[in-house]
Structure 1
Amino acid sequence: MSALHIDTSTDVVELTRQLVDVESVSHRERELADAVEAVLVAASHLEVTRRGNTLVARTRLGRAERVVIAGHLDTVPLNDNLPARLEGGTLHGLGSCDMKGGVAVALKLAVEVAEPNRDVTFIFYEAEEVEARFNGLNLLSRSDPELLEADFAILMEPSNASVEAGCQGTLRVEVRTHGERAHSARAWMGSNAIHKAADILARLERHEPRRPVIDGLTYHEGLNAVFISGGVAGNVLPDECVVTVNHRFAPDRSEAEAEAFLRTFFAPYDVVVVDSAPGALPGLEVPAAAAFVAEVGGQVAPKFGWTDVARFSTLGIPAVNYGPGDPTLAHKQEEHVPVEHIERCERTLRAWLTAGVEGGRA
């Protein structure tokens, strides 16, 4: 067990600063995971399970509902942005926004709310910022899916301390055109594959993206060329051109439906799927979700992007993103989080978990 000590008795902003100052770049989360584990196992009301550097802490009170509150421990690599510093009402530092502010909120609640009105599963997981095969939540869904069972899930991703429901799916495909090589001085003897790609680009330019309304939220799809490659030499007509297209699709479509749409859209060109991840339905009609949204207040927004809420959706668990910080600051050198966001998220979640319950604190 690590000698590092995390003091959860302090306020949630100071707890965030402590977490930020523990370097936990992806694949190097062990020191922080050890310290978080020590805090969790000391709380007698929690049942703690560890898989690698992923920790699961659950209450077992026999409540009618169970919710998951999850956050990842890892960060992107350092960029001369440690240690943390508090300036005015803002905490600066690597991971402050993405997402140690959210982790601090969840950790403090896990320790202090001993008798929540719903059973809670707190998950602190590794390797979110790297390939999906390393993602602790993904690995847990395969090794111990029963630990993820719940009626509703909250992912503490930065969302400006407001609710962003569900998420879009993402699909990347390579669309190929084929030609025939020839010397560029005798172009009539060949066929230029790059020129043929003009039709693909024209289709994309003309495309009107869908804007489906799901649970009262309007999702705006996207279909865009993100790479184009081709060419053999400066005096040779290319015999192949590849346009890489990213499709961000609304969660009312499955991956298979999104792929079928693209194959039809680009027919008769060759289409090869190179990357795919499902979206997540918001599920705001679920009682726990409705109660949470009512507690948070304000306008619920759709998530324009992909997050790990999709992993819960594939398990049939509706999920939302809710955490302190502006998501556009994630991974930036000047990453920071407003103190007010951290405090508001902690206050709101505590109120939601203790409403109608006496003695909610440990």
Structure 2
Amino acid sequence: MSEPQSLDILQELLAIPSVTGDEEAIAAYVERFCREFLPAGQVIRSGNAIIALQPSLNPAATETIVLAGHTDTVISPNNFTGKIHEGRLYGLGSSDMKAGDAVMMEIIRAYGRQWAGAYHLVHVLYDAEEGPYEENGLGPVLEEHGHLFRQALLAICPEPTDNLVQVGCLGTIHATVTFKGVRAHSARPWLGDNAIYQSTGYLNALAQLQPVDHTFGQLLYREVMHATTTTTNNTKNTIPDTFAININYRFAPGKSIEQACREIEELAFAHGAASVDFTDLSPAGDVNLENPALQKLIAISGQPPQSKQAWTDVARFSLFGLDAVNFGPGQGSMAHKENEYVEIAMVREYERMLLEFLGERG
């Protein structure tokens, strides 16, 4: 079986800036690319997301695999975009997750309408994953075009996993916990009531929280709740009457958003919070180790599966009713970092493993 060479595609993707909210150019590039190698009716544009259908000519192929990668990046400096040094290709999004996107696109280029693997393929390259949950481009794809792959056997998200299979994912909630006081001039604080000080019991309770471990077989997921930002609505010479704390709660698979929200509220109100407002609600991803395609992928990877101690769109596929897994060539340690890079050898190994899994016959 010949191995695709996706590095030139990756370099093209890295040359196109695609910070969340600015994905028009990269979507246009991906759409043109897919239409070059697949019939027009098998490429669908949905906003800044592209769905490419690649059915197999193999008469034994009866199941579908979805390959779903986001094309957007965070904002982070990179002084070496497009350069190769010591086996590393540099660029914003190289690990997270344009390397995985490039491999998907190389499968389209290398095999096009002659694909004869063990599965029918649906490629989804979508926007806005790095932003708020409600703005994620995969949501409209599932709502408007999910009928094309609702019965798929497995979805693979090529998140940066160092070529390891990472199962499930944590849910994540952002909430604004607000404490109230009485405004006063800072020279006469006895005329007011400092809202910041109202929160000290709550902040101390948060600081004392320990990770809560949840296990699924050999997989460990750790729940954590922390304050991440704070704001007041006053000038520097004013005792604040409002103090707002952003809380980020990462919760384990098997726990509903409703239950996780209740836990945030119970702790906050028990320590005098005036209000709790939820600003971003993302469910946890299911753990489906019994899925036969997932078992096959784990075997090909040659390593035991890992838990995903973060949120990914595996969760969104779980809500859709489709088993999904994280498996990609990028390095998790490089995600969102300055001067991000991907190891070229990791990309080549990922190409080999993914094609072995998909059963390309040559």
Q: TM-score range by the shorter chain?
A: 0.7 to 0.9
What's 2:99 paired with?
Answer: 101
In 2, Cα distance between equivalents of 1:271 and 1:130: 22
What's 1:6 paired with?
Answer: none
Deviates more, 1:85-94 or 1:110-119: 110-119
What's 1:75 paired with?
Answer: 73
Alignment length, in residue pairs?
350
Q: Is 1:49 matched with 2:47?
A: no
Shift in Å at residue 178 of structure 1? Answer: 2.5
CA contact under 8 A between 2:80 and 2:339: conserved in structure 1?
no
In 2, Cα distance between equivalents of 1:234 and 1:38: 53
Alignment of 1:1-362 (within 5 A): 11-41=5-35, 42-43=37-38, 47-61=42-56, 63-76=61-74, 79=77, 81=79, 83-112=81-110, 114-149=115-150, 150-182=152-184, 187=189, 190-230=192-232, 232=234, 237-268=239-270, 269=273, 270-354=275-359, 360-361=361-362
CA contact under 8 A between 1:215 and 1:283: conserved in structure 2?
no
CA contact under 8 A between 1:40 and 1:46: conserved in structure 2?
no
**Residue 212 of structure 2: SS of its match in structure 1?**
coil
- Sort the Cα spacing of 1:87 and 1:231 in 2 relative to 1 into closer, same or farther, 3 A: closer
Provide the aligned C-alpha RMSD in A: 2.9
CA contact under 8 A between 2:172 and 2:284: conserved in structure 1?
yes
- Sort the Cα spacing of 1:288 and 1:232 in 2 relative to 1 into closer, same or farther, 3 A: same
Tell me the TM-score normalized by structure 2.
Answer: 0.85
| 2:323 partner letter | P
Deviates more, 1:228-237 or 1:111-120: 228-237
In 2, Cα distance between equivalents of 1:75 and 1:303: 20
In 2, Cα distance between equivalents of 1:185 and 1:134: 45
Shift in Å at residue 204 of structure 1? Answer: 0.8
Structure 1 segments unaligned to the other structure (5+ residues):
1-8
In 2, Cα distance between equivalents of 1:218 and 1:107: 33
| 1:330 partner letter | A
**Residue 269 of structure 2: SS of its match in structure 1?**
coil
In 2, Cα distance between equivalents of 1:229 and 1:31: 36
- Sort the Cα spacing of 1:187 and 1:78 in 2 relative to 1 into closer, same or farther, 3 A: closer
Shift in Å at residue 280 of structure 1? Answer: 0.8
- Sort the Cα spacing of 1:50 and 1:178 in 2 relative to 1 into closer, same or farther, 3 A: closer
Shift in Å at residue 131 of structure 1? Answer: 4.4
Shift in Å at residue 53 of structure 1? Answer: 3.1
Residue deviations 1:207-227 (CA, integer Å, cap 9, x gap)? 233111124311011111112
| 2:92 partner letter | L
In 1, Cα distance between equivalents of 2:335 and 2:78: 15
